[in-house]
Amino acid sequence: MDKSPNEISERKSNAVLIRELTLTAIDKHNEAHGTKLVFVEHVEANYQMTSGLTCWLTFWATDMASSPPQSKIYQAHVWRRGQNFHTFIFRLKPTDEEIEAVEVQPPSPMLYELDKPPIVFSRPGPEDEALPGVPFVFNRTGAGLDPDW
Q: Kindly give the confidence (pLDDT) of every residue in the chain, 149 residues in length, as a single tens digit, with 9 standing for 90 and above.
A: 445 555 556 677 888 889 999 999 999 999 999 999 999 999 999 988 888 889 999 999 999 988 899 999 999 999 998 889 999 999 999 998 998 898 888 877 766 666 666 666 555 555 655 555 555 555 545 444 445 54
Residue 39 included in any domain = yes
Tell me whether strands 70-81 and 84-92 are parallel, antiparallel or unpaired: antiparallel
State how far the Cα of 65 lies from the Cα of 58, in Å rounded to an integer. Answer: 21
Judge whether 80 lies within some domain: yes
Note whether residue 149 is domain-resident.
yes
Q: Is the dihedral of CA 62, 65, 70, 72 positive or negative?
A: negative
> Looking at the structure, do residues 53 and 123 belong to the same domain, yes or no?
no
Round to whole Å and give the CA distance between 61 and 82: 26
Phi (first) and psi of residue 49, to 5 degrees = -80, 120
Domain assignment present for 7: no
Listed residue (62, 48, 59, 68) closest to 20, CA to CA: 59
